[in-house]
Each structure stands twice: as structure tokens, then as C-alpha cells.
Chains A and B, each alone.
Chain A
Amino acid sequence: MYKILKKKQLAPAIYLMEVEAPRVAHAAQPGQFLIVIVDEKGERIPLTICDYDAGKGTVTIVIQAIGASTMRIVELEEGDSFADFVGPLGHPSEFIHYSPEKLASTRFLFVAGGLGAAPVYPQVKWLAEHGVQADVIIGAKNAGLVLLEEEFRTLTPHVHIATDDGSKGYKGLVTNLLKELVENEGKQFDLVVAIGPMIMMKFVALTTRELNIPTIVSLNTLMVDGTGMCGACRVTVGGKTRFACVEGPEFDGHQVDFDEAMRRQGMYRTIEERKRAIEAERAAGHKCNIGL
């Protein structure tokens, strides 16, 4: 059992939890993820790692209640435990293998959409610990959903906020802010790392292709075991089938077949659930740009 030591609400339906998991904390590196199971009847849910402390033996996750399983998880309180907490999984981010010279000379931009702020955080933190102050765009629907802003500001002075409704920072999509930074503010980037909803990563990749900036994305596919034994997470990258759980989750964003990945993500969404989700989104004032 893996005990929850701390629980904090970050935004409506979004919670941060610090969990006792010494082995995972000891081994975790930026870019990796884990799988949790809430209890005996729970499913295996992939989650990103937001932070880890080998000394304390703790791992921090950020989770949004979006379905039946995640709702059950956010009902857990401090002192409760997860039945299972497996990881770290996947490859660490490639930049942790860079030479000190390459690290110092690379200009990084991280684009964090929504919950994507959580997995971006340990990457920016690792870089800060290695003397690199990366640029970070935090994108959200509105000011209330901007995650981890203060935490990012302690790591780097270059934090940019974009909200769909303009209630905080730049008004508009992260892709527009990205273009704005490059084209109008004279910023130059050697590597963009985009993590967030699949649709956001797709459009960041399209934007950076235009701008000719290499781009890494972290794919949040469906997963079952997360260890390479089932292929539920398979994606097409550069025309080849890859398993996101063991060969990723980070891939070259310009090589990913996002349309296929998004379609496969919806495989277990029943027609009823889809309808309900779309209705709820529309009622909340969301205008869908991809025609759902």
C-alpha cells in the first residue's frame, strides 16, 4: 500500500497528492510516468510524475477527476492509500543525457497545456538544478486553471501564461503565444517540449514545424500494463508502430500521427459517454475547434 501524505486542491477537480513510494522516488527521472490502482477493483491508470524526493521517499502526482476511476482517486484523503503505485515507467527525457556544453547552449521552451504542467515541472526543475533557465508557457482555459505558476517562477524567470479567455496573461492559444514569442519578441528556441492534451500537442507540433524548431511531445495514450506487454498504447511515429509505454512516452512531435493517436484514445469511450461529455463541455461554454 502506498500512503497519501499530502493532498491539495489546485483547481476545480484538480488535486495534487504526495505519495509514499520509496522505490519509485529513488528511481524517478524527468519525463517518466507511473501507473496507479486505487483499490482491489480499480483499473490501472497512467499518471505523470510531477515531483519526487528520493530522500523523503515520496512522489507527487497531479490528477484531474474526469471519469469514474479518477473521481474515485480524488476522493482519497491524506492517510488513505493507493493499492498499487508502479514506476517509474518509460524513458527519461533525452536532455538528461546531454553533455554539459550542449545543455548550457540549448534554449528550451516548454509548453504545458492544462494538466501537462505537472509533467513539465520536473523537467524544468531538473534543468534549473543544472543551471538552465528554460522558458515555460503555461496554457489553460482560464486563470483558475493555471497550474503550478508559483512553483515554475521559483525555477525560472521566463514564465509565460496563456488563457483561452484572457483572464490571465496572453489571451489565446499556446500556439499563438509561441509564435508571438518567436516572431515578435525575438525569442529563439532550439528545442520545444510540449505536454498537454493530444490536440494541443498536435497544433504545437504543426506550429514548430513551420518555425523549424525540433519538438518533443509526451504521449498520453491508453495503457493497461504500461510495461510493453499488450500494445494498447501503440502509436505510429515516423510510419512505424511504437509502444508509448516502453519506447516513449516522449517522441519527435513532427513524426507522430496525432489523428490516429487521438482516435485510438477514444476507443473505450462509449457513445453515451461521448455525448454526455460533449454536452457538458458545450454547457460550460467550450467551442470545439475539431468538429466533435
Chain B
Amino acid sequence: MANKIPRVPAREQDPAVRATNFEEVCYGYNLEEAQLEASRCLGCKKPRCAEACPVSVQIPAFIHALTEGDVAAAARIIAQDSLLPSVCGRVCPQENQCEGSCILGVKGEPVSIGQLERFVGDWGREQGLTLAEPAPHNGHRVAVVGSGPAGLACAADLAKLGYEVTIFEVLHRAGGVLQYGIPEFRLPKKAVVEPEVENVRRLGVKIETDVVVGRTVTIDQLLDEEGFEAVFIGSGAGLPRFMGIPGENLNGVVSANEFLTRTNLMHAYDEAYDTPIYTGDRVVVVGGGNVAMDAVRTARRLGAEASIVYRRSEAELPARREEVHHAKAEGIDFRMLTNPVEILGDDRGWVTGIRCIRMELGEPDESGRRSPVEIPGSEFDIPCDVVIMALGTSPNPLIAATTPGLETNRRGCLTATAEGATTREGVFAGGDAVTGAATVILAMGAGRKAAAAIDAYVKGKA
């Protein structure tokens, strides 16, 4: 019978201390805590949690193994559906997925599925558990473009089916947004991301870095010259948006992608690395999503006074509640219902401040969100040295532009079916490249679906 105790909290680094370092904020559970939390699970016959997981992890089964004290069995159950449990346990918006559907959440707090998954993933890695074995080759070859969550999930599933898979990655490290986007203090690179990518390699998946598909090699060359029978495009949505307001090209204005790439991928916060970063003393981050939270908390850790400027109110912030809470605890200043109209600079072209206008919420728009409306004459200036634009991203047009027959919609996203088939035969796509910027777990779900579709396509041809 399930244990009727309150949710077991996960231990965290003290906010005052963590605001000065890049170490992980959340320490997670130890074995005792994990087993106690696992004991809360009702073990539903029709588990709503597993249905709500985009990669269909068998949640009650792994939690059951955990209550029995068999962590290795729990790890193997998760590995059947995901090779990135330590990543997903940390960065998934569980409140909208598995935990959001947990029956315990109706009257109280849902089972802390994310923390349990993270515990199992971390434990398996620390014990050196081998979870992935290469399958016998089936004689077919598939190319995957991009080594982010979509590409890794797709490649892992195909490798398990016996395909010879090569991932082509544009950057020098595999992982996509897990490497360049999500900061070390939420997702450690060496301890978590790299070993989980290594698990995908262990299935026999080859990862070729430094390859710019569309420049170094085209999709057509992969299909016609290099002998791949199908291609999966999981190239993400990495093209940053700017506002188009005056002053946006002043020195000190950067995209969140640039700021986070310098710190996460290039380790600019560590003096032993060559890549520089400019933080100034006062940083304003424009935007309200998770990327904005990551950027503002990074700026804080680099020693700046940091603020969020967002045009709607706190209730509409698209970032996870937990991230907003963490940011506030670390001393981030939130300025809601505020929208930039101009970036101000000195006569040498460096940022001195940002001119904003106050907003109020008007009628709900077609998406149901109340749209912000400017209050005339309410302009005011916020002094700052750095402005980070975190307004969202869209897919990079390079692959579509260099691949005949590959259609995109007006937002630049690749046109694809729910199974991942694009408008070009043999070419499949999934993740942010199709949906625009979304979540790690949705991208992984899309990668798994596409792997099944690619398998059907290749077998159907043979």
C-alpha cells in the first residue's frame, strides 16, 4: 500500500552561495530519500503519468523497482525508452507532463517523478551500469542531422533496431541545447550530458562533429554519395530573434544564444578557457521564457546586478515556475508589464541603458492570452551596460535552403507529418526544427516517432 506522506523535498544549494558559483543548484535525492518518495506511488493500473510522458517511460514499473530497492532494475526499465534520464529528470517540465497527470496531484502533491528519474539515472552512471548494448547490424544506414535531444533519441532507437547510424553535428561538442543552451548550474556538462551522450555512442552510433549540413555536406550528398538510405533532421531552432528597435547593434547588446553559448559551450566564465565574455555591472534580460531565466541567472553568477524585463505580467511568464522561483531567490529583479522601445548608448557606441514603456493587459487574443497594450507617455529608462535579448528562436534556414523539395512554413519550420515525414522522400524531421522552440522531452518524443517511421520506410523499400 502506498505511503501517505508528504512529498520528499530535494536538497538544494543555499541561494546566497549558489548565486556566486556555477555548481548545480539542486542536489537531488539520496537512496533513502528516493525510496521514501517512491513509496508514495499508488502503482496505478492505467498509469496516467506514463501516457503523459512524450517518450513513454514506464514510470510505475521503474518506481516499483525502486521501492524494492533494485535501482539497477529501475535503470534498465527507463533505458528501454530513454538514454537521457539524468538530463530529463533535471530539465523536463514535469508539471506539464508526467507529474501534471499523476493522480496524487489532484488532491495533493504528485509523485516527484523527475527527481526519481534523475536519481536512477545518476546512480546508474555512478555505478558504471551498462544499459545499452549494440544490436546486430541489419545492413541499413541512416544519417541524423543534429545531436540534440531529437537526434540522440532517434539515433538510439534506430541503433537498437540494428541500423548503422551517423550523427552529423555542427558544433564541436554533441548535445545541442544541452551543451550550449542550458547552463551548468541546471545541467552539468561533464558529469551528466557527456556520459549520457556516451551511452548513445555505446550503441554503435557514430557522431561526427564540426559538420555543417548545408555547407560541409548537403542532404543530397548524404543520400546520393555517402550511401545513407534515409536522413533525420533534428537541427533545432537556433536562430535568435531581435526586436528591431533602435540601438540594437550597440556594443553590449547580445542574443541569449550568444551569451549562453559563450558561457556554457565555451566556458567563458572559467579563466582557463580562451573565450571572453562581457557582462558589465548591470544586465537587463528581455523576455520571460526559460532561456531568459538561464541568461539572467548566468549574468548574476558573473557578478552583475541582473533584471528581467517582460511585457506581460508574472502570471503569463512562459518559464517554469521553479526557474522563476530560483531566479528570485538568487536576487533577480523582475520588471513586469514593461517593454523596451529603444536601447540607449554613449557616444562611443556602448550601451548605457534601455528605454521602456509600461504595458497593461488588454483583451485575450485568439490564443487566449491577454495581449499587452502600451500605456501612452509612460516611457522610462533603466540604466544598464548589457542587454540580453531572449525573445525566442526559429529554425536556421540553411538546411531547407540547400535541400531541394524540403518545404517550410512561414515561420521557417520544416513541414512534417506527426510521424516525421517531410515533403521530401527519405527525409524525416522532428523536434524544434519542425515545431519551433519547445522542450527537450518533446524533441525526444519526436525523434522516437521518426525512428519508427524511418524503420518502416527503409523496410518497406527493401
Question: A-side interface residues toward B, CB under 8 Å?
Answer: 23-24, 27, 32, 37-38, 41-44, 68-69, 72, 83-89, 224-225, 227-232, 234-236, 241, 246, 260, 263-264, 266-268
Contacts and interface: CB of A to CB of B under 8 A. Distances in A.
Interface in B333-350: 348-349
27 contacts: A23-B217, A38-B274, A41-B272, A41-B273, A69-B274, A72-B274, A86-B172, A86-B212, A86-B216, A87-B212, A87-B215, A89-B215, A224-B258, A224-B262, A225-B170, A225-B171, A228-B239, A228-B396, A229-B393, A230-B240, A230-B261, A234-B249, A235-B249, A260-B249, A264-B251, A267-B251, A268-B278
B39 interface: no
Across chains A and B, which 8 residue pairs bring their CB atoms closest together, nearest first?
A230-B258, A229-B238, A43-B275, A43-B274, A84-B172, A263-B349, A86-B210, A268-B276
B352 to A, nearest CB: 14
A235 B239 CA distance: 16
B255 A230 contact: yes
Interface of B: 170-172, 180, 209-212, 215-217, 238-240, 242, 244, 248-249, 251-252, 254-255, 257-258, 261-262, 266-267, 272-276, 278, 348-349, 393, 396-398
Contact of B261 (A68, A224, A235): A224
Contact of A83 (B172, B212, B240): B172
Given A224-B262, A234-B249, A229 B257 contact: yes
A231 B215 CA distance: 18
A32 B211 CA distance: 15
B397 to A, nearest CB: 8
Contact of B216 (A69, A88, A230, A268): A88
B278 A27 contact: no
Nearest to B251: A267
A36 B211 CA distance: 12
A23 B106 CA distance: 56
The listed residue with most A CB atoms (<10 A of its CB), out of B170, B211, B215, B239, is: B215
A230 B212 contact: no
Q: Which of A32, A83, A84, A267 has the most CB of B within 10 A?
A: A267
A43 B263 CA distance: 12
B250 to A, nearest CB: 8
Nearest to B259: A230
A230 B254 CA distance: 8
Given A41-B267, A86-B210, A224-B266, 18 more contacts: A23-B217, A27-B216, A69-B274, A72-B274, A86-B172, A225-B170, A225-B171, A227-B238, A227-B396, A228-B396, A229-B257, A230-B240, A230-B257, A231-B254, A232-B255, A263-B251, A264-B249, A267-B251
Given A23-B216, A263-B349, A231 B172 contact: no
Nearest to B218: A27
Contact of B170 (A43, A68, A72, A227): A227
Nearest to A226: B212
B251 A24 contact: no
Contacts of B238: 227-229
Contact of A231 (B258, B276, B348): B258
A27 B215 contact: yes
Nearest to A257: B249
A44 B398 contact: no
Nearest to A268: B276
B273 A43 contact: yes
A232 B258 contact: yes
A83 B210 CA distance: 10
B283 to A, nearest CB: 15
Contacts of B348: 263
Contacts of B278: 267-268
Contacts of A41: 267, 272-274
Nearest to B239: A228
A88 to B, nearest CB: 6
B162 to A, nearest CB: 27
Contacts of B244: 241
Contacts of B262: 224
Contacts of B239: 228-229
A268 B276 CA distance: 7
Contacts of A267: 251-252, 278
A142 to B, nearest CB: 31
A283 to B, nearest CB: 25
B217 A231 contact: no
Contacts of B180: 225, 229
Contact of A227 (B209, B249, B274, B398): B398
A87 B276 contact: no
B272 A84 contact: no
Contact of B249 (A72, A83, A236): A236
B257 A227 contact: no
A43 B266 contact: yes
